[in-house]
Amino acid sequence: MPDTAAPSTQPTPSEPTPSAPPPSSGRTSGAGAASAKPEPRRGMPTWVPGFLLVLPSIILMGVFIYYLIVRNLLTSFTNRNSNSRLLKVRYIGFDNYERLLNDSNYTHAWWNLLVLTVAFLVGTMLFGIIWAVLLEKAPKGEGLFRGIYLFPMAVSFIAAAVAWKWLLSPAMGPNAVGLNQLFQNIGLSGLQNEWFSSNSKFNMVAMAMPAIWQLSGYIMALFLAGFRGISEDQREAARMDGASEFRIYRYILFPQLSPVALSALIIIGHMSMKMFDLIYALAGANSYVAGVPATLLWAQLSSYQYGRAAANATMILVVVAIFVVPYLIYTRRVEKKQGI
């Protein structure tokens, strides 16, 4: 038998030897990783979209708030107290401010505003805290009472003034209406009063009654939210130590509500200083008895006393800033301490 040679396993020179793929380790070398890093995009900065979003609001505030404040301040130093087109506007310094401060009507208006603000603050804080303490215990019908207390806030000052103008009518005797008629019918005629129509130094207390009725519910809501934000564990611990309910409110709850009380005072105070519509609807813009700087401002604009009206508006702004700016600084410091 012829010998059969075993088949050769070595490739012939004409056949290429396949190369094995390099093992993939899942990692690239240092040079390859450096070359694989994506180049940073050269687009707009990250703050630009946010800035463009608030830019319309910045423009509107700059034009309709800060520009007008500066324009009003400049007008207060001019002689623009006439509607005549022949008047040559010129700089007169603090003459408008001096005339206002020497005007008995204007100083009386600031006294009226002081009495109104004090009565407004005391009344709203008193009734608001009392209602908040009563509702804080979650009594039956809490939702109903909360709605009753908050309902006056839904009524505009003008609508409230129409009703209160009838209630506080100065008519007495057989022509009495409103509260005077009520006092007469129940045998308390001695309580009849001319209310804000009298020339008393404290007639603005009566003027504050509609505002107290309308905003006491707002103060109640602030304090009620503050009470509900305090942990019940603190009260239980105080009760276990033998503390009475009065001491719990006095030494535990109320001290923690001091920021709420400060916010309420600032809000009510600056609302009182700028109050116009309620007083205008009750007493009119030209009333000396119940006039405040805001109503005098309207009267000055109506008689084309632009320079004095601008000075009056500037003084109101300064007084409001005296109360609001320290509050803003205080809240900012508190937020920094809390890391907000």
pLDDT number for residue 127: 94
Q: Are 91 and 78 in contact (CB under 8 A)?
A: yes
- Which two three-digit tokens encode residue 116? 């109104």
pLDDT number for residue 124: 95
- Which two three-digit tokens encode residue 100? 């206002």
Q: C-alpha angle 132/138/142, rounded to 5°?
A: 80
DSSP secondary structure code for residue 290 in this structure: S
Q: Are 320 and 273 in contact (CB under 8 A)?
A: yes
User: What's the pLDDT tens digit per position in 280-323?
Assistant: 888 876 577 888 999 999 989 989 999 999 999 999 999 988 88
pLDDT averaged over consecutive 10-residue blocks of the chain (340 residues)? 46 50 50 53 78 93 94 94 83 94 92 93 94 87 87 87 89 86 87 82 87 92 91 88 88 89 89 86 76 90 93 93 85 78
Element (H, E) at 85: none
Q: What predicted TM-score, i.e. pTM, was given to this entire model?
A: 0.78
Give Cβ neighbours of residue 63 (< 8 Å, ≥ 6 apart).
Answer: none
Q: Which residues partner with 78 through β-bridges?
A: 91
Burial of residue 308 (number of CB atoms within 10 Å: 0-12, 13-18, 19+):
buried
- 3-state SS assignment for residue 226: helix
Q: Are 223 and 268 in contact (CB under 8 A)?
A: no
Question: Among 109, 99, 38, 26, which Cα is nearest to 298's?
Answer: 109
pLDDT number for residue 7: 46
DSSP secondary structure code for residue 78 in this structure: B
- Which two three-digit tokens encode residue 58? 């910045």
Any idea how long the chain is?
A: 340
pLDDT number for residue 38: 57
State the residue for tokens 């600031």: 110
State the residue for tokens 């990783």: 33
- Which two three-digit tokens encode residue 79? 């002689």
pLDDT number for residue 218: 92
DSSP secondary structure code for residue 139 in this structure: -
Q: Are 297 and 312 in contact (CB under 8 A)?
A: yes
